[in-house]
C-alpha cells in the first residue's frame, strides 16, 4: 500500500488577485513548493489538482502528475472530489494525504508525521497546539464518505467532525498559516 500526496491547487485566488499556484515563492512557484513537500515526505505518488489557469500553471511549473477539476469555481470540495476520484483507480493507493497550495509553512516533516499513521481505515490530521489543521490523511475507506459531503470550500471538514480522527501534533515543525492576500508572504 502506498500513500498518495494530493495537492489542491485549483482556485483562482480572488482575494489574492491571482491563482495561488502561480505565486512566486523561494525562486519557484508555490505549487512547485507544495508538490515538493509531498514528494520529500515520501508520498508514493503525488497528484496536483489544477483548475483556474490550469494550462498556464502546467506550462510554467515542473509538476508531477496533474488532473484538472472542470468544476473548480464551485470551491475546494470539488477539487477534493476530483483528486480522490483520480486516485481511486489505483488500487495500490491505500490513503491520501491532502495539502493545500496556500500553506507553504507545512513542512515535509509534518507530512511524514501524519503519513506515519496511514492505513485504509485511517483519518488523521496535523495538530497545532490544540487546533486541527493540514495535512489531512484520508484512508481509502473514507473516500466515498468524504466525496459525498465535500461541497463549496468545506472540503472534508464536516466528514472529519463526524468521525474519529487522530490529531498528530506538528506545530513544532510546521506553520499552518495560509496565504489569503498579497503581503501575507511578508508577514
pLDDT tens, residue order, the chain (187 aa): 999 999 999 999 888 889 999 999 999 999 999 999 999 999 999 999 999 999 999 999 999 999 999 999 999 999 999 999 999 999 999 999 999 999 999 999 999 999 999 999 999 999 999 899 999 999 999 999 999 999 988 889 999 999 999 999 999 999 998 877 776 666 5
- Taking the C-alpha atoms of 39, 178, 116 and 61 in order, what is their torsion angle to the nearest 10 degrees? -10
Query: How many angstroms separate the Cα of 25 from the Cα of each of 7, 10, 34, 55?
Result: 16, 17, 10, 19
How far is Cα 76 from Cα 87, in angstroms, rounded to an integer? 17
* Tens digit of each residue's pLDDT (9 = 90 or more) over 139-152: 999 999 999 999 98
Q: What is the pTM of this model?
A: 0.95
**pLDDT computed for residue 171 by the predictor:** 96
**pLDDT computed for residue 14 by the predictor:** 87
Using only C-alpha atoms, the chain has a radius of gyration, in whole angstroms, of 15
How far is Cα 26 from Cα 143, in angstroms, rounded to an integer? 33
Please state the domain extents for the chain: 2-169
How far is Cα 119 from Cα 140, in angstroms, rounded to an integer? 8
- DSSP bridge pairs for 13: none
Cell of 49: 489538482
Element holding 148 (H helix, E strand): helix 143-149
How far is Cα 180 from Cα 127, in angstroms, rounded to an integer? 21
Domain 2-169 has CATH 3.90.550.10: yes
How far is Cα 137 from Cα 124, in angstroms, rounded to an integer? 5
Amino acid at each position: 500500500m502506498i500513500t498518495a500526496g494530493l495537492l489542491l491547487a485549483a482556485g483562482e485566488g480572488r482575494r489574492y488577485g491571482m491563482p495561488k499556484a502561480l505565486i512566486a515563492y523561494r525562486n519557484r512557484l508555490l505549487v512547485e513548493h507544495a508538490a515538493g513537500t509531498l514528494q520529500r515526505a515520501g508520498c508514493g505518488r503525488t497528484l496536483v489538482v489544477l483548475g483556474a489557469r490550469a494550462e498556464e500553471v502546467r506550462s510554467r511549473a515542473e509538476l508531477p502528475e496533474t488532473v484538472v477539476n472542470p468544476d473548480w469555481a464551485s470551491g475546494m470540495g470539488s477539487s477534493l472530489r476530483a483528486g480522490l476520484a483520480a486516485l481511486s483507480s489505483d488500487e495500490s493507493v491505500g490513503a491520501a494525504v491532502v495539502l493545500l497550495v496556500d500553506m507553504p509553512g507545512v513542512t515535509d516533516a509534518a507530512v511524514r508525521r501524519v503519513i506515519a499513521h496511514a492505513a485504509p481505515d485511517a483519518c488523521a490530521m496535523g495538530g497545532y497546539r490544540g487546533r486541527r489543521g493540514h495535512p489531512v490523511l484520508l484512508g481509502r475507506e473514507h473516500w466515498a464518505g468524504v466525496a459525498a459531503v465535500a461541497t463549496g470550500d468545506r472540503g472534508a471538514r464536516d466528514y472529519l467532525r463526524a468521525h474519529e480522527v487522530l490529531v498528530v501534533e506538528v506545530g513544532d515543525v510546521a506553520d499552518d498559516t495560509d496565504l489569503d492576500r498579497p503581503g501575507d508572504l511578508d508577514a
